[in-house]
Amino acid sequence: MSHASTAWAMETVHLAGADLKLIKGGSGEPLLILHDEMGHPGWLRFHELLAQNFTLYIPHHPGFGESPPLEWVMNMRDLAGWYLEALDDLGLGPINVLGSSIGGWLAAEMATMCPTQFKNLVLLAATGVKPPEGEIFDIYQVVAKSYLEASVLNRTQTPEFSDVCPDDPSPELLDAWDSAREGACLLSWRPYMHYPNLPFLLSRLKNLRTLIIWGRDDAIVPLSAGELYHSSIPGSELVVLDRCGHRPDIEKSSEVAEIINGFIGT
């Protein structure tokens, strides 16, 4: 991951009764970034672009990466409740938040619990709601590398894909992927990758500026899920990217960063 001209560092912080690995970098208004079900992929061009305008806070979720699990956390709403206390301990709030895939689900759950904790919400191809049309890709039916390959529309036209998913993953990376999948399974197995009642709770976000970004060709979470988020969150904005899959952060990093910068900056 060779994209860091902006200084960043990872530290261990003790929050809400647990240790958490937290990456911090950039300058400007704080922006909390919640990673997806495969764990934090490293400092990418997307982060570098956002760090020009924001101070990024990127935690490894408990049970992912280098953050130990919380034994009592059994589902996404448990984790959302813990994160809200963690943000209290960090003294961050109201804060901008961006969540990708399962991290988007986490962000949405947190926002329904305490919408005043957040200034702006950005959902990037979020899981969490059952698509009215199509199905969420079953991550557990394939190996991790195949899942990552399915997440982008065109690997040859996505230069950073080789950083996120090398042709020959190291044993350490394979272990990290397996660990992340275990953590995601605990949070999202039954029902798979969604909370049936979330759409009914999203109206609580009526006073929270919300941006939803989706790839039109997302093979992991169908666009209909993004449309459901949009119809369930009053006043939300939906941006659909043509020729883009489930990873807008690497497939269209410059375009997505510009959209986010404009949305939060207005």
Q: What is the reported pLDDT for 93?
A: 84
Per-residue pLDDT tens, the chain, 266 aa: give them: 445 577 899 999 999 999 999 999 999 999 999 999 999 999 999 999 999 999 999 999 999 999 999 999 999 999 999 999 999 999 988 999 999 999 999 999 999 999 999 999 999 999 999 999 999 999 999 999 999 999 999 999 999 999 999 999 999 999 999 999 999 999 999 899 999 999 999 999 999 999 999 999 999 999 999 999 999 999 999 999 999 999 999 999 999 999 999 999 86
Q: What is the reported pLDDT for 266?
A: 64
Task: Report in angstroms the alpha-carbon separations of 187 from 71, 87, 88, 103.
Answer: 12, 20, 22, 11
Task: Report in angstroms the alpha-carbon separations of 239 from 25, 214, 233, 242, 249.
Answer: 27, 6, 14, 10, 14
End-to-end CA separation in angstroms for the chain: 31
Find, among 70, 86, 91, the residue nearest to 34 by Cα: 86
Does residue 239 contact residue 223 with C-beta atoms inside 8 Å? Answer: no
List strands edge to edge, sheet with 95-100. 8-15, 18-26, 54-59, 29-34, 95-100, 118-124, 209-215, 237-241
Q: Which residue has the tokens 């982060």?
A: 47
Does residue 60 contact residue 20 with C-beta atoms inside 8 Å? Answer: yes
Whole-angstrom distance, CA of residue 239 vs CA of residue 128: 18
Query: pTM for this one?
Result: 0.96
Find, among 265, 262, 261, 263, the residue nearest to 46 by Cα: 261
Domains along the chain with CATH numbers = 8-265 (3.40.50.1820)
